[in-house]
Amino acid sequence: MDYTERLRSLAVNNAHFVDQVDGTDTEQSGLDPKSLALVRLAGLVAIGGAVPSYGELSDAAVSAGASTNEIVDVLVGLIPIVGLPCVVAAAPKIALALGYDVEEEELLQQGSG
């Protein structure tokens, strides 16, 4: 199915198409697994997803070959689209998902200063 057919199916809310594309099958996406994982992570940031979802999608991105730098680059790239407050809210959640506790680091820096 070419892009025009897919766009039309989405635009008219074609139930048959939507049933076929459940979002979990990366084979149906034209994106490589790493790009798809980063796009999904960006979408999660845009909607202000739950903490466990950040862990799941960050793990998926890393497993698909994304570096932690690329994940942070996605956050930075989202600032003009979703706004700084949205990205600031997501940053500690993604940091935790990547094994970095921003709040703990802040406390350590305050204690040494």
Q: Determine how many CB atoms are found less than 10 A away from the CB of residue 109.
A: 9
Structural domain boundaries enclosing 71: 31-112
pLDDT of residue 20: 78
66 within some domain:
yes
Let me know if residue 14 belongs to a domain.
no
On whether residue 75 sits in a domain, the answer given is: yes
Residue type, 18: V
Count of structural domains within the chain: 1
User: How much is the pTM?
Assistant: 0.81
Is residue 68 situated within a structural domain?
yes
Q: CA 78, CA 18: separation in Å to the nearest integer?
A: 27
Q: Does some domain include residue 6?
A: no
Considering the domain boundaries, does residue 61 fall inside one? yes
Number of Cβ within a 10 Å radius of residue 42? 18
Interval 51-65: pLDDT, tens: 899 999 999 999 999
Domain-embedded: residue 4: no
pLDDT of 26 over the 70 cut? no
Q: What are the CA-CA distances from residue 112 to residues 100, 104, 107, 109 (Å)?
A: 19, 13, 9, 5
43 belongs to a structural domain: yes
The C-alpha angle 12, 80, 48, rounded to 5 degrees, equals: 65
